[in-house]
Amino acid sequence: MSFGLSRGAQTACPLAFALVIQVIEETGRAPFTNQAHLPLVGQPLDARMPLSLLEAVRIIDTPDSELDAELVHELRNKRFGLSETVNAQIRRYNEMVRKPQRVAYDEVLALSRLLGRRPDADLVFREAGRRLARASLNTLSATTRKAALSLPALLGRPIALRQLRHVCRSFLDGKLQRQGSAIVLEVLAPVSADAAPRSAGCGMYEAALRESLQTLAGAEGLVEHVACRARGDSSCQWRTDWRKR
């Protein structure tokens, strides 16, 4: 039984398959169904993306209040985000970020589909998107970020646009274009496009774009998901007006 992973993917993506096995052991259920998935194919991705996904799960699964040691141990056995498997993979991805190394597309795809089975998948993907944006923006010069935000629009916007394009290309595997006062992010094969019902997985890219815009341009406009692979479009696209409100 493959649980949504082909034999080749099981060999190429030991992380994803290990996570699948853990879910089965903890819940007694396979995390994938036999539903048809989109034919998503892509190049290796920056390790910050799967790292952000697992960190989001860990944050969401962490109790708000302090608990005694016995209850914490019990929660670690029951909550996926607190499991040793997830902690080990977070350490692995942190090491890949440090080296740096990229992660096979199929591995991140399988991880996204696994997390998309959670009832709170929308929260997971949006939190992951925000975390991914912050991690990506931290690779930029602090001086550049400050200039993009603080200079008059005539000077600051071109700087912000260059940095946004770099972030989208390097960390989201997407292309950013300006259309008048709007910008459009296009991703041909979003790794979470079919991960959850109602395109909830696409919320990761939407949240990442919104966080990046707010940080680099001070823009807080609505981000519209104007095209989606899950709806039959050839790519996913997000459009927003990036003027300051």
**DSSP, residue by residue, 162-207:** HHHHHHHHHHS--EEEEETTEEEEEESS-TTTTSSGGGGGGHHHHH
Do 111 and 170 lie in one domain? The reply is no
Q: How many CB atoms lie within 10 A of CB 109?
A: 28
**What mean pLDDT is predicted for residues 123-136?**
98
What is the reported pTM? Answer: 0.84
The three-point CA angle 104-3-234 to 5° equals: 55
Q: Looking at 38-47, 128-137, 152-161, 228-237, which range is the least confident one?
A: 152-161
Q: Would you say residue 70 lies in a domain?
A: yes
Instruction: Judge if 121 and 26 occupy the same domain.
Output: yes
What is the pLDDT, as a whole number, of residue 242?
A: 79
| pLDDT at residue 4 is higher than 50 | no
pLDDT at residue 221 in the model? 81
Q: Does residue 121 sit in the same domain as residue 161?
A: no
Give the pLDDT of residue 237: 98
Angle ∠(10,234,127) on CA atoms, nearest 5: 60
Residue scoring higher pLDDT (177 or 23)? 177
| Domain boundary pick from 85, 106, 125 | 125
Tokens standing for 76? 């670690």
Assess if residue 1 is contained within a domain: no
Domain end call among 76, 96, 125: 125
Domain assignment present for residue 4? The answer is: no
Range of lowest pLDDT (1-10, 38-47, 81-90, 112-121) = 1-10
Per-residue pLDDT at 79: 76
Is residue 191 domain-shared with residue 233, that is, in the same domain?
yes
Q: Are 204 and 125 in contact (CB under 8 A)?
A: yes
pLDDT of residue 63: 78
Task: Report the number of distinct structural domains present in the chain.
Answer: 2
Residues 24 and 107 in one domain: yes
116 assigned to some structural domain: yes
Whether residue 23 is found in the same domain as residue 109: yes
Phi, psi values for residue 241, rounded to 5° = -85, 125
Those residues with Cβ within 8 angstroms of residue 145's Cβ, 6 or more apart along the chain or in another chain:
137, 163, 215, 216
Better-predicted residue by pLDDT, 223 or 2: 223
Looking at the structure, tell me whether residues 97 and 143 fall in a common domain. no
Task: Give the model's pLDDT for residue 85.
Answer: 87
Q: Where is pLDDT greater, at 79 or 230? A: 230
Half-sphere exposure (Cβ direction) of 208: Cα atoms closer than 13 Å: 35
Average pLDDT of 93-97?
A: 97
Q: Is the pLDDT of residue 25 over 90?
A: no
Rounded to an integer, the average pLDDT of 110-138 is: 96
> Does 107 share its domain with 140?
no
Same domain as 223, residue 194? yes
Same domain, yes or no: 113 and 173: no
Same domain membership, residue 72 and residue 17:
yes
Structural domain of 104: 10-32+39-125
Domain boundary residue among 101, 125, 149? 125
